[in-house]
Chain A
């Protein structure tokens, strides 16, 4: 069964600290993996999209890594800011034919001053 699991479910960190969010998936065959940021009461916004051949991708203070062999991805946030408080959703797309997107449940991050 195609699944995407994220950990931790929630996380609290202090402003200025770094953190890493995890995503494990069982989607096969694999096409790409996406990370989205969803502020409270807003729609998700894309942070990164990585294909099979990419093992790291950055977007400002956000760096995503992908290990297609172990089917794991991580999202590292550097020097966190209060505005980083949001849910971070990992989404995996299969390949071949109609590529359904499989969503994780998200990690809820709270950055405290």
Chain B
């Protein structure tokens, strides 16, 4: 079974530039997550999709971050304009909903490491 695919693996940009990350979840996984992981910290949820609808984007800095999941499959996360503090690893994860409000097992991609200079 193919895992969660992410690209690019690494990206270096200057502040105020824009960047986009792509994620393709495991086939059949309706739930897709984007996490931001700053060095030495645990992942922080940015946005969660259920199919192509947003479940939670309460911690997404909407003035500069946007995400979409058209057709309920792959997803893109965009940052525009980037700030120095956006330097982090952006992890995509997917899960198969178990029902009854239970969050299924999360499968993570390898992450996209962003460096903002």
Q: Chain B residues with Cβ under 8 A from A44's Cβ? A: 43, 91, 106, 108
Q: Establish whether residues A100 and B56, one from each chain, have CB atoms under 8 Å apart when the complex forms.
A: yes
Name B113's closest neighbour in chain A (CB-CB).
Answer: A41
Interface string of B44-88 (1 = CB under 8 A from A): 110000000001100000000000000000000000000000000
Query: How far is it, in angstroms, between the C-alpha of A93 and the C-alpha of B56 when the chains are bound?
Result: 15
Q: Establish whether residues A46 and B44, one from each chain, have CB atoms under 8 Å apart when the complex forms.
A: no
Shortest distance between the CB of B53 and any CB in chain A (Å) = 12
Q: Chain B residues with Cβ under 8 A from A32's Cβ? A: 102
Q: By DSSP majority rule, is chain A's interface helix, strand, loop, or mixed?
A: loop
Q: Chain A residues with Cβ under 8 A from B106's Cβ? A: 34, 44, 46, 101
Q: Establish whether residues B42 and A98, one from each chain, have CB atoms under 8 Å apart when the complex forms.
A: no
Q: Establish whether residues A101 and B45, one from each chain, have CB atoms under 8 Å apart when the complex forms.
A: yes
Shortest distance between the CB of B57 and any CB in chain A (Å) = 12
B25 at the interface (CB under 8 A from A): no
Q: Establish whether residues A93 and B103, one from each chain, have CB atoms under 8 Å apart when the complex forms.
A: yes
| Residue from A43, A93, A101, A103 within 8 A of B109 (CB atoms) | A43
Q: Chain B residues with Cβ under 8 A from A12's Cβ? A: none
Q: Chain B residues with Cβ under 8 A from A43's Cβ? A: 4, 91, 93, 108-111
Within 8 A of A (CB), among B87-117: 91, 93, 101-103, 105-111, 113
Q: Establish whether residues B4 and A103, one from each chain, have CB atoms under 8 Å apart when the complex forms.
A: no
A75 at the interface (CB under 8 A from B): no
| Residue from A49, A97, A103 within 8 A of B105 (CB atoms) | A49
Query: How far is it, in angstroms, between the C-alpha of A42 and the C-alpha of B107 when the chains are bound?
Result: 12
Contact status of A98 and B45, CB under 8 A, knowing A31-B102, A43-B91, A49-B105:
no
Query: How far is it, in angstroms, between the C-alpha of A93 and the C-alpha of B104 when the chains are bound?
Result: 10
Shortest distance between the CB of A5 and any CB in chain B (Å) = 11
- Please list the residues of chain A having a beta carbon within 8 angstroms of any beta carbon in chain B: 4, 31-32, 34, 41-46, 49, 89, 93, 95-101, 103-106
Question: Can you list 5 A-B pairs, Cβ within 8 angstroms, ordered by A?
Answer: A44-B108, A46-B107, A96-B101, A97-B101, A101-B45
- Please list the residues of chain B having a beta carbon within 8 angstroms of any beta carbon in chain A: 4, 40-45, 55-56, 91, 93, 101-103, 105-111, 113
